[in-house]
Amino acid sequence: MIQFSQEEDLTGSRGGVDLTPMIDMVFILLVFFLLTSVVLLPTITVNLPEAETGEEKPEVELTVTLKKDGTILLNDNPLQASEIIPELEKMQDQKTIKEVFIQSDESLPFGTVISVTDLIRQAGITAISFIVEKNSGP
């Protein structure tokens, strides 16, 4: 028979179910499912046909910079507004333009930015993004 001493407190703070092993298992399962979901992304395997006349067109990203003095730069090369469409069309023939990034001085009139954006769209490029600085907050 088990003998308990009169001074032993059986209702101490250690009573109840210990949840530590269960929490450990939940974290292990969470890590397992996160890793396997990243590794096992669904992919479609396609066997592409071959062609003798096939050519590779690398994708490029362009940056159009609009400076405070009105200067327009295409990948750091200065040009006039009238040269934007022919230059972009020439580049489009040689390569696949993935996206055009516009960075503009904040003091430029909004109409100037819109007119350059319109010229880029007239050249057949619709993927246009604006480069801005992240606001540091209030």
Beta carbons within 10 angstroms of residue 94's beta carbon: 10
Residue 110 lies in a domain: yes
pTM of the model: 0.55
Does residue 49 lie within any of the structural domains? no
Quick check: 125 and 92 in contact, CB under 8 A?
yes
Whichever domain contains 96, its CATH number is 3.30.420.270
- Mean pLDDT across the stretch 63-87? 86
Contact criterion met (CB below 8 Å) for 125 and 100: yes
Range of the structural domain that residue 118 is part of: 59-130
136: pLDDT confidence band, cut at 50, 70 and 90? low
Helix extents (H) in the chain: 20-39, 84-94, 110-122
Q: pLDDT tens-digit profile of 90-113?
A: 888 877 777 888 888 888 888 888
Residue 52 in domain: no
Q: Is the pLDDT of residue 41 over 60?
A: no
Structure tokens at 47: 């066997």
End-to-end Cα distance, the chain: 71
Q: With bands split at pLDDT 50, 70 and 90, how would you rate the model's confidence at 55?
A: low
Whether residue 9 is predicted with pLDDT greater than 60 in this model: the reply is no
How many domains does the chain divide into?
1
Do the Cβ atoms of 65 and 76 come closer than 8 Å?
yes
Read off the pLDDT band of 25 (50, 70, 90). very high
